């Protein structure tokens, strides 16, 4: 379902242009509002819809196989940590869903590794990654397998 932009809601802020993974949301030079310049390269990922502060972007199912009359609307609320969906069928039936998007205040629990304890030379030469072996939550250390168990060919 390629995206489209409602003329009366878009204020041309460009959030959708910044976020679109496919580089297909652009600002129309005449109307100074966003538009989808290449609907056939739209993955319907909803990144632009979620990013739009004006709720100006919607999707209309791909014309090749999606009949008119449906809608799938979304509201992503970072401060509440939720995403809410409303699915409307062509025949008018409606389904609503709400899911969490994070369990933490946004970004706070993500470490800045430059400020964490430095690794030793020995660590660099080991097979361990940052936070290992502790973060594996096992007390037997990083698993390893003996090279002399290798067999070449079809036997297994």
Partner 1 sequence: MGFKTVYEDCDILVVGGGMGGCGAAFEARHWARDMKIVVAEKANIDRSGAVAQGLYAINCYMGMQWDENQPEDHVRYARNDLMGIVREDLAYDMARHVDSAVHKFEEWGLPLMRDPETGHYQREGKWQIMIHGESYKPIVAEAARKSVDKIYNRIMVTHLLMDENQPNRVGGAIGFNVRTGGLHVFRAKAVIVGAGGASHIFKPRSVGEGMGRTWYAPWSSASAYALPIMVGAKMTQMENRIVLCRFKDGYGPVGAYFLHLKTYTQNAYGDEYESKWYQHTKDMVGEYIDHHPTPTCLRNHAFLQEVAAGRGPIHMVTKEAFQDPHKETVGWENFLGMTVGQAVVWASQNIDPKYINPELTTSEPYVMGSHATCSGAWASGPEDISPDEYYWGYNRMMTVEGLFGAGDALGGTAHAFSSGSFTEGRLAAKAAVKFIRDHANDKINVSDKQIEDRRKEIYKPLENYQVGRNEIVGGTVSPSYILPLHGLQRLEKIMDEYAGGIGVNYMTNEPLLKFGLEKLKILQEDLEHIGAEDLHQLQRAWELKHRAIASECVTQHTLFRKETRWPGYYYRGDHLKLDDENWHVLTLSRRDPESGEWEMEKAPVYHIVD
Candidate segments 4-12, 27-35, 69-77, binder of partner 1 by CB under 8 A: 69-77
Contact between 155 and partner 1 per CB under 8 A? yes
CA atoms of 3 and 38, how far apart (whole Å): 10
CA atoms of 10 and 31, how far apart (whole Å): 10
Cis ω on the peptide bond leading into residue 133 (within 30° of 0)?
yes
Contact between 55 and partner 1 per CB under 8 A? no
CA atoms of 38 and 18, how far apart (whole Å): 16
CA atoms of 5 and 14, how far apart (whole Å): 12
Q: Is 130 a catalytic residue?
A: no
Contact between 14 and partner 1 per CB under 8 A? no
The distance of closest approach from Cβ of residue 111 to partner 1 in the complex, given in angstroms and rounded to an integer, is 7
Please list every residue from 72 through 91 that binds partner 1, using CB under 8 A: 72, 74, 76, 83, 85, 87-91
Residues forming the active site: 43
């Amino acid at each position: 379902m390629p995206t489209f932009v409602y003329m009366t809601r878009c204020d041309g802020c460009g959030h959708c242009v910044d976020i679109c993974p496919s580089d297909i949301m652009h600002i129309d030079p005449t109307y100074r509002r966003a538009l989808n310049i290449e609907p056939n390269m739209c993955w319907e990922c909803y990144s632009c819809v979620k990013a739009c502060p004006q709720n100006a972007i919607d999707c209309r199912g791909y014309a090749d196989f999606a009949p008119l009359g449906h809608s799938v609307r979304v509201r992503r609320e970072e401060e509440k940590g939720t995403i809410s969906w409303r699915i409307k069928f062509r025949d008018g039936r409606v389904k609503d869903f709400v899911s969490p998007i994070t369990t933490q205040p946004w970004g706070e629990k993500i470490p800045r590794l430059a400020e964490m304890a430095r690794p030793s030379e020995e660590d660099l030469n080991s097979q361990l990654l940052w936070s290992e072996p502790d973060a594996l939550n096992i007390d037997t250390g990083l698993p390893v397998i003996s090279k002399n168990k290798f067999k070449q060919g079809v036997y297994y």
